[in-house]
């Protein structure tokens, strides 16, 4: 049996055509997942605020009886433009 490059090429094309739809759907799903992760639309609780720690969008902390969500990269203490107040408790003092 001799190798026929034309038949091999045709067979490979059929396989690629069949798999292309699956691959395109999978790529689209992964791109959506990456956009979601980059958007900061998820929260990660980092405990109480600590001086010197770098917080990134999606990080959530507690500080002085309040729950804060980080909006942009910062090491500053809330409140401020980098933080969104999510919930306020009663100050125990």
Over range 30-56, report the average pLDDT.
85
Q: Is residue 83 within 8 Å of residue 70, measured between CB atoms?
A: yes
- Supply the DSSP string of the chain, one letter for each residue: ----HHHHHHHHHHHHHHHHHHHHHHHHHHHHHHHHHHTT-S-EEEEE--TT--B-TTEEEEETTEEEEE-SSB-SPSSSTTEEEEEE-----
pLDDT of 78 above 90: yes
Entry pTM: 0.56
């Amino acid at each position: 049996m001799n190798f026929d490059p034309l038949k091999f090429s045709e067979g490979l094309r059929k396989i690629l055509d069949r798999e292309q739809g699956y691959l395109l759907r999978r790529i689209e799903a992964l791109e959506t997942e990456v956009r979601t992760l980059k958007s900061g639309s998820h929260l990660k609780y980092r405990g109480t605020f600590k001086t010197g720690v770098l917080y990134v969008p999606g990080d959530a902390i507690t500080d002085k009886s309040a729950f804060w969500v980080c909006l942009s990269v910062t090491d500053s203490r809330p409140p401020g433009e980098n933080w969104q107040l999510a919930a306020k408790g009663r100050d125990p003092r």
